[in-house]
Amino acid sequence: MRRIVIYGILILVSILCLVPMAWLVASAFKSNADFQVYAFTPPVERLTLGNFPSLFEQMPFLRFMMNSFFVAGVTVMAQLFFSALGGFALAKYDFAGKKTIMGVMIATMMIPGPVLLAPMYELIYHLGLIDSHLGLIVPGMVNVFGMFLFRQSMLSVPDEMLQAARIDGCNELQIFWHMVLPVSRPIIGAFCLIAFMGTWNSFLWPQIILQTSDRFTLPIGLNQMVGVYQTDYGAMMAGTLLAVLPVVVLFFILQKEFIAGLTKGAVKG
Amino acid sequence: MRRHASRTTPYLFLAPFILSFLIFGAYPIIRSLVLSLYITSGPEAQQFVGLDNYFYLLKDPDFWTAFRNTATFALGSVVLQLPLSLGLAILLNRPEIRGRNVFRFIFFSPNLMGLVFSALLFMLILAPKFGLLNAALHGLFGLPATTRWLSTPALVMPALIMVALWLYTGFNMVYFLAALQSVDAELYEAATIDGAGRWSQFWHVTLPGIKPVLIFVVVLSTIGSFQLFELAFLLLGNGSGPDQAGLTIVMYLYQNGFLGGDLGYASAIGWTLAAMVLLLSMVQLRITGLGTEET
Amino acid sequence: MQVQNTDSVMGRLRRRLDDLPLGLAPLLIAGMGLIAGLYLLIHPVHRTRADLSLWTFGALHSDAYQEAARRFEAQSGRKVDVQLINYNAVNQKLRSALWAAVNVPDLVEIEKSAAGGFFRGPLNKVGFLDLKPYLQRDGILGRIPPNTLATYTDRGAVFGVPHDIHPVMLAYRADIVDPYLARRGKRMEELATWDDFFRELKGLLVPEGRYLLQIEHGDAFAFQIFLMQRGGGVFGPGGRLRMDDETAVQTMLWMIPLVAASGDKQVAASLGNWDPSFYRGLIEGYYIAVLCPDWRSSQIQTFARELHGKMRLVPLPAPAPGGLRTSQSGGTMLGIARSSKDPELAWRFAKEIYYGSPRQHGRLFRTTNILTPDRNAWGDPAYHEPRPYWSNQALGEEFIALADQVPPFYSSGFLPTAVAKLNEAIVSCYGRYRSHGADGFEAYVRRRLKSAADYVRAQMAREPDWDAKEGS
């Protein structure tokens, strides 16, 4: 009996989680006229693939996707490397200013992004990065949250082990690469996914600095469709579906690593 | 024979952060602090007003509307989301449950949509007449299908909290699940032997066991909720909703700075928010006693 | 055997991966990044160095301007770059661009609700050029209805030229209304006032089922239309705030009961203004008439296809006999940036797209239904052909007939604030009438509008006297 109740709850929540996404899928195959007529899905014979051609007609969708992949790929790799390195320094070294640095890190997490929008824009201009992918990548290469995440997981590496390696003549980078990083491996998968989603969905900053539509990332390109004077809902849902798909696939592949990572890493508190 | 790493090593490893902070953190921070002392309308129209922006802000009814809305959202999110996340995590953590991976995947999956795409989706789901939510409420409970979630002042915040619930419950659940799995199973056995009931187990074993993660999630959710912008902004058709019911602090900042053109006042709003968030986090950490812990 | 084999291959692959210090995730992401990088390398962004750049937020505008740009390039030998920028991004992009004095387009289209915000600051430092001398020199002032300039005029300077007039008409379900009126020996055109309209159509009203008019009480869209029809406005000339004057009070006192009264006293309703539900309500006949600026008529065509041949447009019923039969809603301007290196060239292109070929205007009218303010274009056949969707009305002629009566809309840097406050006032007046009815309503409306206006005045009082500061 108790099990039935539990399964009942789990299944109910599952439905609530999935229905909006199922609706998204259905909407992507619904014509604009049917959009307002059928709440969920029209009869099968009225489903249409027409939204996809009209999506590709209205915008260089493949290009947006490649832009997103490129920006996300480079950003995540940089964030991964710098976060792991920084986390290592914070976890396993004692040095003057460590507390200050960690305080600064926490403080930066609390400053709302939009406060800095205007001066950031000036700055990116002076660096000559307006309307470029680098303008998205460079300011986002360091991820404070990631540094904390890696620091937590690296705390568990015993100091004696590192000392022994040093005595054996390993330099610090070797220690990082061969001894510490493998310990944090479960975290890496989780971090990559979180960082990837963060970059993939980033909206406000790209919207401000990108100007040439050939450089747009997916959120910017798609939001372009929401116009005051006209909105093509079917194509918009088709685009949203395609934009979300890579993240879903990635998560599906990385699921195990992701969960394992959070289990082993973030939890040490 | 080297017993210690060189003094410069940690600084070298932290160099990317330090550099990035100096360029993309410190400079814009100082610049916007200075800006907050001016009334501005473009780079060539600036008037120094000292702290007047801050004084005006404290008497600005709209700022307090934004604060109320944001606080409601934060409270609603934390109060509804976290217990739900924890509850689901506890259910999924029972060894006898089959298909845990599937459920976990399903619960987490809304988070994969991301803010922007979720907003585009829910804008349509919440619409009256043809939107999915109203159609469902109509079909299941016979409620009228004309409920205007996003244009009825009293319903805007509940709608936003609902969408956030959909987006983040699974995400926080994963944290809790991870935390639960790290709680020592022997403690439960001991508790069972002592004859502790489920509630007593929950209070005396589970909660203390996951306390660090719980606090981490509470603080992070609060910070995140207080910076609510994109979700509300996009859902409400790039506005603050009827009767400003969806106006958040960051949205107010955006409206003043990027629509009204006064980046000075916008900066003052931003800094006031930053101070509030900092204060709130410190209070949370102090109450829960985590701030003093050094790991 | 075979299964065994693949297993071991998979197993080996797994082990390979396990040997890597990073795991699968970074590999996948780096791989995708790499592939995307290669793709972008092979398909570089074509960045033409243009002599002129223009930002627009309308996709249809962009298409038309691209075409015009090619023609212009052929004539002038100068390159023009037309960029389509999202409506929601254009203001913040322009703001950032002006702030950093970088990447400011030579020409930019802005929606009127945001335009005033760009006119603040010392007159000679405003980001846009005063176009009055150009308009006068080239004899264009006489070609456009003078009221259309009011929106973009600040301290005497004209910072933008109007793209449109946006007369407001009443769009209604002819298939429902016309037969009903015919039985009573009446025609829609004869309902000259709102009183006539509601009285004559009363028989069609079904509480909770069918309302006579769509009036949204969650935003200021309908209110502003009614307000301007009565000669009022949020702002008056010279940036004077008048959102709480007697006209505004009377408009509120009239409008709110239409939608907030109970039982069969409620004659108007709404399902929202901006989402598909708006069209749903029209299609289902939940309301049978809507306030319809020219731009909205093309949206109705697109999103309520089912109503083909069932819709008609008539001039707005007047507030009182002999009153104004139209109003104004929405608008877009084209401005030339002060930082433009070649304002003369920019102006030539502006003229090309705004006051150029009637045929181009006509073509655009067929898709957008938006009437250009350039009278010279009104002769184009596109404005005179019957539209099957609209029961074969010649839409252009309907709009042109009202064009010169369209009231002026006065802008201000404080317009967004004022409209937000007005929204609140409307919502609370609606709520008040719902709960208390007519009892003490007038006093409440006066108080509420005044407090909304006082908020805006407090903000306006903070505004430095930019020009005085400039002079000292």
Interface test with A, best of B113, B213, B263 (most A CBs within 10 A): B113
Rounded distance between C-alpha atoms, residue C262 and residue C407, angstroms: 33
pLDDT on residue A264 = 57
The pairing of beta strand C311-315 with beta strand C168-173 = antiparallel
Interface test with B, best of A2, A21, A36, A110 (most B CBs within 10 A): A110
Distance from CA of residue A200 to its chain's centroid? 5
Question: How distant is the Cα of C438 from the closest Cα of chain A, in angstroms?
Answer: 36
Query: Which secondary-structure segment (H or E) carries A208?
Result: helix A204-209
pLDDT on residue C228 = 97
pLDDT on residue A14 = 94
Number of C-beta neighbours around residue C20 at 10 A: 12
For residue B259, give the nearest of C98, C114, C216 by CB distance: C114
What is the rounded average pLDDT of the residues A96-113?
Answer: 85
What is the rounded average pLDDT of the residues C118-131?
Answer: 90
Indicate the pTM of the whole model: 0.84
Residues of chain A numbered 156-195 and touching chain B (CB < 8 Å): 163, 166-167, 172, 176
At A268, is the pLDDT very low, low, confident or very high (cuts 50, 70, 90)?
very low
- The encoded tokens of residue A147 equal 């540094």
- The encoded tokens of residue C89 equal 């991004």
What is the rounded average pLDDT of the residues C301-327?
Answer: 95
pLDDT on residue A261 = 67
| Residue C284: closest CA among C217, C214, C332 | C214
Rounded distance between C-alpha atoms, residue B123 and residue C275, angstroms: 8
Residue C60 at interface with chain B, using a CB cutoff of 8 Å? no
What is the rounded average pLDDT of the residues A149-168?
Answer: 87
CA separation, residue A149 to residues A193, A263, C373 (Å): 13, 12, 60
3-state class percentages of chain A: helix first, strand second, coil last, to nearest 5: 75, 0, 25
| Residue B268: closest CA among B50, B99, B7 | B50
CA separation, residue C35 to residues A206, A250, C27, C460 (Å): 21, 15, 12, 54
Helices (H), C355-440: 358-368, 395-403, 415-436
Burial class (CB in 10 A: 0-12, 13-18, 19+), C142: exposed
Residues of chain C numbered 400-429 and touching chain B (CB < 8 Å): 413-414, 416-417, 420, 423-424, 427-428
Question: How distant is the Cα of C272 from the closest Cα of chain B, in angstroms?
Answer: 7
What is chain B's Cα-based Rg?
23
| Residue A28: closest CA among A205, A176, A241 | A241
Residue A44 at interface with chain B, using a CB cutoff of 8 Å? no
What is the rounded average pLDDT of the residues C269-287?
Answer: 88
Helix and strand counts by DSSP (H, E) for chain B: 15, 2
| Residue B109: closest CA among B173, B179, B47 | B173
DSSP string for residues in C32-47: HHHHHHHHHHHS----
Q: Quick check: B262 and B40 in contact, CB under 8 A?
A: yes
- The encoded tokens of residue A260 equal 């394992």
pLDDT on residue C468 = 75
Residue A36 has pLDDT above 80, yes or no: no
The angle, 0 to 180 degrees and rounded to 10, between the axes of the packed helices A185-200 and A144-154 is 170
Instruction: Using an 8 Å CB-CB cutoff, list chain B residues near A108.
Output: 21, 25
pLDDT on residue B208 = 85
Helices (H), C317-414: 343-354, 358-368, 395-403
Residue C46 has pLDDT above 80, yes or no: no
pLDDT on residue C354 = 93
pLDDT on residue B269 = 93
Number of C-beta neighbours around residue A90 at 10 A: 24
User: Tens place of pLDDT for every residue, chain B, 295 residues?
Assistant: 344 556 788 899 999 999 999 999 899 999 989 989 999 887 678 889 999 999 999 999 999 999 999 999 999 989 999 999 999 999 988 878 888 888 988 998 898 888 888 988 898 888 877 678 888 888 888 887 778 888 888 999 999 999 999 999 998 998 888 888 877 777 777 877 777 777 888 888 888 888 888 888 888 888 889 988 889 988 887 778 877 889 999 899 888 887 777 888 988 998 999 889 888 888 888 887 654 444 4
Query: Which secondary-structure segment (H or E) carries C171?
Result: strand C168-173
The better pLDDT of the pair A95, B2 is held by A95
Residue A214 has pLDDT above 60, yes or no: yes
Instruction: Using an 8 Å CB-CB cutoff, list chain A residues near C46.
Output: 214
Rounded distance between C-alpha atoms, residue B195 and residue B173, angstroms: 28
Instruction: Using an 8 Å CB-CB cutoff, list chain A residues near B273.
Output: 112, 115
Rounded distance between C-alpha atoms, residue C228 and residue A107, angstroms: 50
pLDDT by residue (tens digit) across A231-252? 678 888 899 999 999 998 888 8
Subunits with 3+ Cβ pairs within 8 Å of A are: B, C
| Residue C88: closest CA among B210, A13, B119, A165 | B119
Rounded distance between C-alpha atoms, residue A150 and residue C244, angstroms: 59
B133-147, C299-313, C430-444: least confidently modelled range: B133-147
Instruction: Choose the most confident range, by mean pLDDT, from A58-62, A259-263, C88-92, C432-436.
Output: C432-436
pLDDT on residue A137 = 95
Q: A266 and B213: CB-CB below 8 Å?
A: yes
pLDDT on residue B49 = 92
What is the rounded average pLDDT of the residues C137-165?
Answer: 93
Q: Quick check: C444 and C429 in contact, CB under 8 A?
A: yes
- Mean pLDDT for chain A overall: 85
User: Would you put residue B143 in left (φ > 0), alpha (ψ -120 to 50) or beta?
Assistant: beta
pLDDT on residue B2 = 44
pLDDT by residue (tens digit) across C350-404? 999 999 889 989 999 998 999 999 999 999 999 999 999 999 999 999 999 999 9
The better pLDDT of the pair C195, C57 is held by C195
Read off the amino acid at residue B203.
W
CB-side exposure of A173: number of CA atoms within 13 Å? Answer: 4
Q: Which residues pair with C241 in a beta bridge?
A: C235
Q: B43 and C98: CB-CB below 8 Å?
A: yes
Residues of chain C numbered 227-256 and touching chain B (CB < 8 Å): none
pLDDT on residue A229 = 44
pLDDT on residue A269 = 37
Rounded distance between C-alpha atoms, residue C203 and residue C180, angstroms: 9
Rounded distance between C-alpha atoms, residue B130 and residue C28, angstroms: 40
pLDDT on residue C3 = 44
At C93, is the pLDDT very low, low, confident or very high (cuts 50, 70, 90)?
confident
Q: A58 and C59: CB-CB below 8 Å?
A: yes
Rounded distance between C-alpha atoms, residue A78 and residue A141, angstroms: 5
pLDDT on residue B114 = 86
The answer for residues whose C-beta is within 8 angstroms of residue A136's C-beta and 6 or more apart is A71, A75, A202, A205, A206, A209, A210, A217
What is the rounded average pLDDT of the residues C154-177?
Answer: 96
Q: C29 and A73: CB-CB below 8 Å?
A: yes
| Residue C80: closest CA among C332, C346, C337 | C346
Rounded distance between C-alpha atoms, residue A186 and residue A264, angstroms: 7
Nearest CA in chain A to C30: A73
pLDDT on residue C373 = 96
DSSP B295: -
pLDDT on residue C7 = 59
- Mean pLDDT for chain C overall: 90
Q: A130 and C59: CB-CB below 8 Å?
A: no
B224-233, C149-158, C268-277: least confidently modelled range: C268-277
The interface pTM score, or ipTM, of the predicted complex is 0.85
The answer for residues whose C-beta is within 8 angstroms of residue B122's C-beta and 6 or more apart is A20, B163, B235
Interface test with C, best of A34, A62, A70, A126 (most C CBs within 10 A): A70
Burial class (CB in 10 A: 0-12, 13-18, 19+), B39: buried
